[in-house]
Structure 1
């Protein structure tokens, strides 16, 4: 994925955050993560040197509040934010695109997982039909075969569940927004697979 902030954009966006009000350094890092949907969580080594540079330029001030440093924009800093409002709008649009990209990736992962599950179930059904067409012998044990296929189905379901949980939890842990329509689509797909499976079983 391309960098969230182009050259110089992070500097301006830091000023924009401080234009909203004074912030601790950690608050700034958290705000950057929140507003990029988790696509960008800078380290302290990235943010603090830039804040120090802004302080040197007279665009922000720093005061000590206990064990934390509070940064506040100056009149000169507000003036720069005002004159570069158009640039900020472009940055905000880019951040919105990054969040939408994450949502699209989650949707794509869910759809791919569902396609894989349907394909596995279809393959299992074909294998079972092929086995049923063979002439049974005395050594056939229907229950043993069924238990074997049940074990296989359990493995498929567990794999699907693990993949989806990993995708969703990773997305949320990165600060991304889990949209309701993504979960709705997952629910519909799972219900459809359950319905298809029930019909296939009843038809045997």
Structure 2
């Protein structure tokens, strides 16, 4: 997913809103921005500190040393600036919500695609087992192969397990999206994990 891009002056305004919550040092501001955007946007120090310096020049923030860290705090002038631009801040928050929602949709689409692929493979395996069972006269042979009825029941049980898993993952994704904690590589990670699960499952089934 493409990270959200701040229009001119928007990042400056959003930094003020974060400092209005409480004083923070630079890394805390970077982390707070990453958290707010569900990990889809994480500015560099080279992006944050020049803007903080500009805000300080304008008298909108102050800074003081706290050990090896520099802590920034909003001034009354900064709060007045923030209040006068509340509509602009609301628009940024709306964009944030849309960004997180789009990421969640992409992750869900990846889950559904992988689940459909797994279901197709399992259905194909069940049909192969059914044909083999018919050739064996619909009974267990000496090697202990399952009958057609048993294969059908097994395929049905596997379908139920997959559906339950999909519902659980979708619920978890909605929770993560609501918290804004989905990382930008969530789609790629999930697809890779599901592909590995699929390969391992089919290998285990073939081994049985």
Q: How high is the TM-score relative to the length of structure 1?
A: 0.64
Query: What is residue 125 of structure 1 aligned with on the other side?
Result: 126
Give secondary structure in 1 for the equivalent of 2:7: coil
Shift of 1:108: 2.0
Q: Structure 1 residues 19-28 or 59-68, which shifts more?
A: 19-28
Shift of 1:135: 6.6
2:43 aligned with 1:38: no
Q: Tell me the distance in 2 between the aligned counterparts of 1:93 and 1:47.
A: 22
**Cα offsets for 1:119-164 (capped at 9, x unmatched):** 111011122223334478xxx974589xxxxxxx9xxx9xx9xxx8
Distance 1:141 1:41, change over 3 A: farther
Q: Tell me the distance in 2 between the aligned counterparts of 1:119 and 1:31.
A: 42
Gaps of 5+ in 1: 146-152, 179-204
2:63 aligned with 1:58: no
Counterparts of 1:143-182 in structure 2, within 5 Å, are: 143=144, 176=181
Q: Tell me the distance in 2 between the aligned counterparts of 1:60 and 1:122.
A: 63
Give secondary structure in 2 for the equivalent of 1:72: strand
Indicate conservation of the 8 Å contact 2:31/2:42, yes or no.
yes
Shift of 1:50: 1.4
Query: What is residue 49 of structure 2 aligned with on the other side?
Result: 48
- Considering only aligned residues, what root-mean-square deviation do their CA atoms show, in Å? 3.4
Gaps of 5+ in 2: 147-157, 184-208
Query: What is residue 196 of structure 2 aligned with on the other side?
Result: none
Indicate conservation of the 8 Å contact 1:102/1:176, yes or no.
no
Indicate conservation of the 8 Å contact 1:22/1:70, yes or no.
yes
Query: What is residue 88 of structure 2 aligned with on the other side?
Result: 87
Q: Structure 1 residues 55-64 or 118-127, which shifts more?
A: 55-64
Indicate conservation of the 8 Å contact 2:133/2:145, yes or no.
no
